Chain A
Amino acid sequence: MSAKPRVLIVDDEERFRTTMAKLLTVNGLEVTAVGSGKAALEELKAKPYDVITLDIRMPGMSGLEALAEIKKVNPGIEVIILTGHASVDTAVEIMKLGGYEYLLKPTSTEELMNKIDAAFERKLTREQKVR
């Protein structure tokens, strides 16, 4: 088990995902960034990840659709929704689909790091219980 979380960033805004990847990398995380839900599903087949940050509004497959698919392929992975649009209905939907946390953009790297750490810890605890 890796000591630092392997994070997959899924966001259609290119500049946002690349800078976020750089910021998380300098904070010691192992990060990959992709631009769509479809690309995320392909990436998950190729490599294991611990935590995903997922945008909601994306062209093609929406964040919620991607979340449902991700949970089908890998139910153990923790997903943090990172979006510019907050609504109670979406939040409820995310929780129903098994999303871990919900963060409103803009957020600081520190806040996001805290959420990623907490999500990773939850994943580790659950895996230890299964063993």
Chain B
Amino acid sequence: MGFRQSITPYTASILIALCAVIIAFTGSLGFAVAGIFLAFVTFMNTRQLLQKLAAANEQTCFLDEKLVQSQKLASIGELSAGIGHEINNPLAIISQETEWMQHLLKQIGERDPKEVAELQDSLKEVLRQVDRCREITQNLLDFARKKEPVFQEVNVNKLIDDLSRLVEKETIRYHIEIRKDFQQDLPLVHTDAPSLRQVVLNLLTNATHAIEKDGRIRIATQRSENGSVDIIVEDTGCGIPKDHLIKIFDPFFTTKPEGKGTGLGLSICHGIVDKLGGRISVSSEVGKGSTFVVTLPINQRKGMRPS
């Protein structure tokens, strides 16, 4: 960094040009021309070198960021598995005791029907809340599960088409149109289909939630550079504020109301895409919508390096 800041292509070439002028005064014109030519070549070379250095630096920052995110996910994953397991056992007892109380109440129900009905209602609520907790712990365990992907040739267009048909059944009720924009000659992608399904389903569900009602989701595929395929999910939803964008792949980060989301969906997606050797990015504008892009290597072995 210090070297880059102290020597610019301009200072290097000025130094050499200065030498050329001195030579011109002391020697022949030929030496001066050669000196100026040398200064020009040095200028070009130094500029190219610095550009490469800047690009390499940027790449290092990107990889560092990716590594930090992966490590963060891994350590939270371990913690989550422990919590998931430990909570499931007491939940099982709460659930059973509640069922037992419901059974006992049925026996005495005829004696005092009004109060018993109220008690039954409370117990039903306890079971509903147990279900809610169970959903959370299952998400935690899903998040922590070390699933090794099984790589096969996958028709990404077909995979997405099947999923969007599934989501359409839900979105149609809220007047949300799903527009498919697939590149027709897309090559088969060497990836893990169930994992990819989970990612796409999650992105489509998030897009639906962001729109709520009356809007459009565009799901597109395209071949991108470096032997990769892009899956783009674009919505006309509420958008994500700038300060939330940096936290969006963090585990437990959610803007959904309490009980509506665990904040694990996108971090699970991030973890999966990472395992598949790809990357996921987001851009968004508040009030206009968000765009998620999943970039996957066509051939995972030849393409990007898995983390």
Residues of chain A touching chain B, judged by Cβ–Cβ distance below 8 Å, are 13, 15-16, 19-20, 22-23, 26, 57, 84-88, 104-109
Contact = CB atoms under 8 A, between A and B. Distances in A.
A109 B96 contact: yes
B147 interface: yes
Nearest to A20: B96
Contact of A19 (B87, B96, B147): B96
B103 interface: yes
Given A104-B88, A106-B134, A13 B99 contact: no
- SS of B interface (majority): helix
Nearest to B95: A106
A69 to B, nearest CB: 23
Interface string B73-116: 00000000100111111011111110110010000000000000
A16 B92 contact: yes
- Can you list the 10 inter-chain pairs with the closest CB atoms, starting with the nearest? A84-B88, A105-B92, A106-B92, A106-B95, A85-B85, A106-B91, A84-B89, A19-B96, A105-B88, A84-B85
Nearest to B85: A85
Interface residues of B, number: 24
B138 interface: yes
Interface in B133-161: 134, 138, 141, 145, 147
A109 B99 contact: yes
Contact of B93 (A19, A85, A107): A19
Most buried by A among B86, B87, B92: B92
Nearest to B138: A104
Given A87-B145, A106-B91, A106-B134, A23 B85 contact: no
A108 B130 CA distance: 10
A15 B92 CA distance: 10
Contacts of B91: 84, 105-106
A72 B246 CA distance: 55
B96 A26 contact: no
Contacts of A86: 138, 141, 145
A36 B81 CA distance: 24
Given A86-B138, A88-B147, 18 more contacts: A15-B93, A16-B92, A16-B96, A19-B93, A19-B100, A23-B96, A23-B99, A23-B103, A84-B91, A85-B81, A85-B88, A85-B141, A104-B88, A104-B138, A105-B89, A106-B88, A106-B134, A107-B92
Contacts of B96: 16, 19-20, 23, 106, 109
A22 B99 CA distance: 10
Contacts of B99: 23, 108-109
Nearest to B127: A108
Contacts of B141: 85-87
Contacts of A13: 89, 93
A86 B89 CA distance: 12
19 contacts: A15-B97, A16-B93, A16-B96, A20-B96, A23-B96, A23-B100, A23-B103, A84-B86, A84-B87, A84-B92, A86-B138, A86-B141, A88-B147, A104-B138, A105-B89, A105-B92, A106-B94, A106-B130, A109-B96
B225 to A, nearest CB: 35
A19 B85 contact: no
Nearest to A55: B89
A20 B86 CA distance: 19
A92 B97 CA distance: 31
Contacts of A109: 96, 99
Most buried by B among A15, A86, A88, A105: A105
Contact of B145 (A15, A23, A88): A88
Most buried by A among B85, B94, B147: B85
A106 B127 CA distance: 10
